[in-house]
Structures are given as C-alpha cells and as structure tokens.
Structure 1
Amino acid sequence: MSGAAEKAARPLRRDFGEIENLQVSLKGPDNFVTSADIRTQEILHRELSRARPGYGFLMEEGLEEAGDGEHRWIVDPVDGTLNFLRGIPHFAISIALERAGTIVGAFVLDPIKHEAYWAEKGRGAYVNDRRLRITPRSTLDGAVIALGLPHRSRGAHDLHLSRQRRIMQRVAGLRRFGAAALDLCYVASGRVDGYWETGLNPWDIAGGMLCVTEAGGSVVGLRRNSCPLITGDVVAGTPDIAIALQDCLAEADQQV
C-alpha cells in the first residue's frame, strides 16, 4: 500500500502546484472530480493490481471489480477534492484492504504534510514511524470535535444544525477540516477527541476507521448497532466520547 500511495503522491503534489491547469468536472451538485483524481486512481489501481493480482476494488471514481471475492481494496484517490481544488493543503490518498468483510489494513497519506498514517489489524496504528494513541479524554467537557458538513444536495440542513448546536453546548470547540479520512486519523493521533459525519461512502472512511480502532479508539454508527461502512454515518473517538456523541446526536434528533 505504501509504495502505491507514494508513487501516486508524486504527480499529485505537482498537480497541487498547478491547479489552474487541471480539468475539472461535476459528478453532482458540489461534487467535483479533477483530472488529478482520475490520474491518481489509475496509478493506484495499476500498482495495487501488480502487488496483489486477483484482489477486488472499490474506488471512488466509478471503478468496482469483484476480484477473488475474498479480498478487496477500498480506495479514495483524493479525499478532500474541494480542498485540493482551492489550494488548501489538506487532502489525502486513502487505501484500505478488506478481507472477508473485515478491514485488515490501512494506509492514509497526507502528501503535503508528508504524514503517512497506517494500521494493521491487531498490530497497532502509526504515523510514519510513531505509534498512535487516542486522547486520554473521557468526557465531552473540554473536548475538540471534528465534524463534516452536508452538501446542499444532501439536504437535512436543519437536522444537522440541531445536532451541531447540541454538541457545541457540551464541548470546547468544533473543527471542520474537509477530509474524512484525515479527520479519523486526527482522532487516532489525539489531535481531536472525536468526530462525526453523515452521508459518507466506504472509501471515505475505511482506512481511517482502522487507524482509530488500532489506536485504542471506537468507531460506531450514528445509531447503536449500526455499521458506518453500510450507513455512511460515522461517530469516532475514545469509547466514552463516541458513546457521549451518539447520545447527544440522538437528543438533538428528538428536538427537530
């Protein structure tokens, strides 16, 4: 994974310095794709296929292959495309390896900050060569929470504002960075204490989820016993903070 990501990152860094020359199109309202996304995906597909022939793929830019039915790469070539487009140096390449329905490996590369987050199931999570540990914070008091904002096409803005208002009353601050994979990695590294977002896709969160759990954290759905990879709604943090966020969000939903 690391070799494929690093090879894809080199032209991506160059493209980031020449944004005005990129071809940009819309996949939907507020959902952009650039020639850099496509090129990065092609490199990742080629390199991962060479490394593990026969593995399946689920990739953001419309590529899905069944493969051997046991192993599957889940890939977001550029997580945080809008940041990338606007020259904001906060985006990532996210790769996860799924085996028999379980995420067993992850590599999330921030190519601008040169931070490589990686994890193996049962073997811990790291950024570059440093072991990751979640924050020791156990309550929302004083916590810093990352979140995502719904695009205009997703609707439910009143519901989101109700949830945000409820959380704001309990924490020290909210942060919206614009790249779900890195939000999860920031939970794993202790930079933020928790995170929630709705309406995501498996490639947005698969890699970051494993980094959180291998760093000692918890990743759950918006509702108890729901799976983020299926629903697209994710809550992450320490085990105590994840539960507290779930409870706050449920309380907000009852008030709408």
Structure 2
Amino acid sequence: MSDQNNGSVIGGKSFTAVAINCASKAGEWIQTKLGNHASLDIKYSSHDLVTEVDKGSERLIRNLIMTHFPHHSFLGEEGVKPGPEASTKALEDVREAEYLWIVDPIDGTTNFVHGFPFFCVSIALAHNGEVIVGVVYDPMKDELFVAEKGKGAYVHGKRMQVSKEETLRGSLVATGLPADHQYALPLNLRGIGAIAPQVRNLRIAGSAALHMAYVAAGRLSGFWEIGLNSWDLAAGALLIQESGGVVGDTLGNPYHLGVRNVVASNGIIQQELIAALAHAEANQ
C-alpha cells in the first residue's frame, strides 16, 4: 500500500494521510469479520442490508478522524435513517460545513454478507462543498485508490488514467440494482434494458464506489446508477475527475454532493451514455 500523503495539511496533519490510515485500518478490521458477522438487518429493502460490522467500521473511522480533526463535520451512511428522503436531509444538514468527511464504512454490504469479494471502504473530504480528497480501499485485493484535488489519482502508487474507448459499442460499462424498489430500481432496470445491447458488455458487481474506482483506473469505461447517495459517490467522483474522466448527473449537469442519479465515464462516451438513457426515458 502506497501513501500519497502530500495532500492538504491542517495543523501539520495531512488530510490524505488520515483518510488512508482510516480506510486501511477499517479494511483490515472488516477482513477479520468476513463470514463472521453476528447480526444482519434490513434497512430500506431486501437489497439494503446492514451488519454490526458496518456500524463498527464507521465508528472506527469516525473516532480516528475526530481524534485528528475534532472540529470537522462527519456524514456516515450508518448515522442516517434509511431511504432517499432521509439521505437528502442528512446531506443538507451538513452541506455548508467548511470541512465535511463523507464515509461509507462498507460499500457493498450485501457482497460482504455473502462472501462475494467486491466491497470497499469509501472516504471523502469536502472543503466548502468541493471534494478535495477521495480514498477507496478494497481490503480483499489490498487495492488503495487515492485522489487529491489537482494532484491526480493513484492505485498501487501509480497514476491512474481513464480508458480510451471512443464508443459505447466498444465499452465495458457498469451499473447497480438500487435499494429503492419503488422509484430507482424500475428506472435503472429500464436503463439496463436499453444500454445492455449497445455496449460491449455490462457489469453489475454491487459496489458503486468500487465501480467508480474502476472507471478511474480504466477497467471500466462508464458507470451509471439511479438513486445513489453522497457517501456512495464522493470519493469515486474525485478519483475519476483526477484520472481525466467526467462525472455528472443523468441530465448532463456537473457532479456536486447532492447528485443521486449519476453518470460517470472516461469523458469520451459521456454524452452517448446520457443520450441513450434519455432516449429510454431512464434518466430521471
């Protein structure tokens, strides 16, 4: 694991170094709990699970961050009631904070529960509403994706670059199956029906943050999903932007912390992907 710890600094402490330390410690702890979680609760739907490991990971991360930066604000998935309305309100309550840490302690909890090795810890830091640090850590592969605003994005200490595919037809694209079965899931399924025949292939692996990291690393050319939250997207959005890609909403607007319907890509296929979703009426 390589530390890009030359990031923004306050009081002699690097934001990026703290984010990396938190993600790695949480990831190592999560690994020890694989196949050994004691509780399993359904939050918003059968697709939306939480275990004591999610809660413990968030507590660990929050405690570490607050030790270094006690005056910063914190938004973690497990501290928010289930459902899109609660998620939107939770973000609005802290959005004006000067420094806001945005954390998903396990993105891909369903995968974790089933022992499917595609989940991660996602940590972002926003300064006055703009993401300046993004870290996604995959403990099963020991892959650390790190980005700093204006300083590039890295995996295994090597600079990442988005893919060069020029068309949907030649692209490997990912999406998800949203937890909101009333609105987001039917809309996303409509998008899947429209996009699948137009791309080289489609992947649904169950972690938005890792999908975003894979776009940044050039392993995927694009990703879209309806009904996501700030903690799913914030770190991955910076990874993609700092790797030369583009992140926005399904209507073509630029990314901001409130985006819930996301389209992210290498930039080259962005408009084609947005247009295909619009044509299928699968964009809002």
Aligned to 1:43: 60
Does the 8 A contact of 2:129 with 2:257 survive in 1? no
Return closer, same or farther for 1:66/1:138 CA change in 2, 3 Å cut-off: same
Do the aligned partners of residues 66 and 36 (structure 1) sit closer, same or farther apart at CA in structure 2, a change above 3 Å counting? same
Q: Give the counterpart letter for 2:36 in structure 1.
A: E
Which amino acid in the other structure matches residue 119 of structure 1?
Answer: A
TM normalised by structure 2 equals: 0.84
Matched, 1:147 2:175: yes
Counterpart amino acid of 1:40? S
SS at match of 1:48: helix
- What is the SS of the residue equivalent to 2:168? coil
CA RMSD of aligned residues (A): 2.2
Contact 1:76-1:94 at 8 Å conserved across structures: yes
Question: 5 Å matches for 1:222-237?
Answer: 222-225=250-253, 227=255, 229-237=257-265
Q: Cα distance 1:234–1:68, how it changes in 2: closer, same or farther (>3 A)?
A: closer
Q: Give 1:2's aligned residue.
A: 20
More strand by share: 1
Equivalent of residue 164 in structure 1, options 192, 205, 219: 192
- Give the percent of matched residue pairs that are identical in Structure 1 and Structure 2: 38
**Could you give the per-residue CA deviations for residues 218-243 of structure 1, whole angstroms, max 9, x where no partner exists?**
00100022646324111011212111
Partner in structure 2 of residue 18 of structure 1? 36
Q: 1-side partners of 2:45 and 2:248: how far apart?
A: 28
Contact 2:130 2:256 in 1 (8 A): no
| 2:70 counterpart of 1:53 | yes
Q: Report how many aligned residue pairs link the two structures.
A: 254
After TM superposition, give the deviation of residue 67 of structure 1 in Å.
Answer: 10
Counterpart contact for 2:178–2:228, Cα < 8 Å: no
Show structure 2 runs of 5+ residues with no match.
1-18, 81-89
Give the Cα–Cα distance (whole angstroms) in 1 for the partners of residues 95 and 256 of structure 2.
Answer: 23
Q: Which residue is equivalent to 2:228?
A: 200
Alignment deviations for residues 101-149 of structure 1 (CA, whole Å, 9 cap, x no partner): 1000011100111000010000000012111000011211211100112
Question: Would you say the 8 A contact 1:103–1:206 is kept in 2?
Answer: yes
- 2:244 is aligned with 1:221: no
Shift of 1:66: 4.9
Deviates further, 145-154 or 122-131: 145-154
Secondary structure class of the residue paired with 2:238: helix
The normalised TM-score by structure 1 is 0.93
Deviates more, 1:227-236 or 1:149-158: 149-158
Unmatched 5+ residue regions in structure 1? none
User: Which residue is 2:51 aligned to?
Assistant: 34
